Structure 1
Amino acid sequence: MTGKTARPCSSWILPSLLAINLALTAGCSGKAATAHYAVSSLGDSCYAKALPTVGEGGLAWGSTLNMARKKSVDNCIRYAGRSGGTPDTCKVVLAECKN
């Protein structure tokens, strides 16, 4: 006999792969988007943003303008180094306090 035999697993392979893909995507999308920026959790009223010439910058909050500036430059140096940028060129481009 030369009849065709159906493969028993071929009917569930594609739905299984789609389900796994959906589960992995859903698991990643449930995370909070922190993106490298510090969030003010204690109600600090001043913030500053520092950027390098190349790479990622840093945003930081502080109780004083000087503290926010220092933190943002420190974050900028860290993130620029991680992203292949130029950490030694970090400069504060925005700094202010909320009322």
Structure 2
Amino acid sequence: MTSTTSRSRLPQAWRTLLALPLLLAGCSSAPAGSKCYAEAVPSRGEGGLAWANSMNSARKKSLDDCALYASRSGGTPSTCKVVLAKCK
């Protein structure tokens, strides 16, 4: 008895593992030359990560992104706080 397996029937985990490096290769949204980044998170929902040339700009962008993503994910955008901010 022979069994044939189709490549399209790979388990979901294998497809995810194969696709992950491709997704991570292009996940940085930082423009060339941006040296600072900040991450803001709400008490509930998704937060935001932003890159900019200055610390203040990165903090502002991450708070704006946090409010946007928190409201889209059913979270609380008014509770966004910057939890991490660094410059290279």
TM-score calculated relative to the size of structure 1: 0.64
**In the alignment, what sits opposite 2:8?**
20
**In the alignment, what sits opposite 2:71?**
81
**In the alignment, what sits opposite 1:64?**
54
Q: Which amino acid aligns with 2:38?
A: A
Flag as ranges the 4+ runs of structure 1 deviating above 2 A.
Answer: 19-22
Q: Given the alignment of the two structures, is residue 92 of structure 1 paired with residue 82 of structure 2, yes or no?
A: yes
CA distance in structure 2 between the aligned counterparts of 1:51 and 1:39, rounded to whole angstroms: 18
Q: Deviations over 1:43-89 (max 9, x none)?
A: 21111111100111111110111110111011111221222211111
**In the alignment, what sits opposite 2:29?**
39
More relative contact order, 1 or 2 (CA 8 Å, 6+ apart): 2
Q: Which amino acid aligns with 1:41?
A: P
Corresponding pairs, count: 81
Structure 2: give runs of 5+ residues left out of the alignment: none
**Percent sequence identity over aligned pairs:** 50
- Cα offset for 1:20? 2.2
Structure 1: give runs of 5+ residues left out of the alignment: 1-10
**In the alignment, what sits opposite 1:49?**
39
Deviates more, 1:50-59 or 1:39-48: 39-48
What is the SS of the residue equivalent to 1:73? helix
CA RMSD across the alignment: 2.6
Q: Which amino acid aligns with 2:70?
A: A
**In the alignment, what sits opposite 1:7?**
none
CA distance in structure 2 between the aligned counterparts of 1:32 and 1:95, rounded to whole angstroms: 24
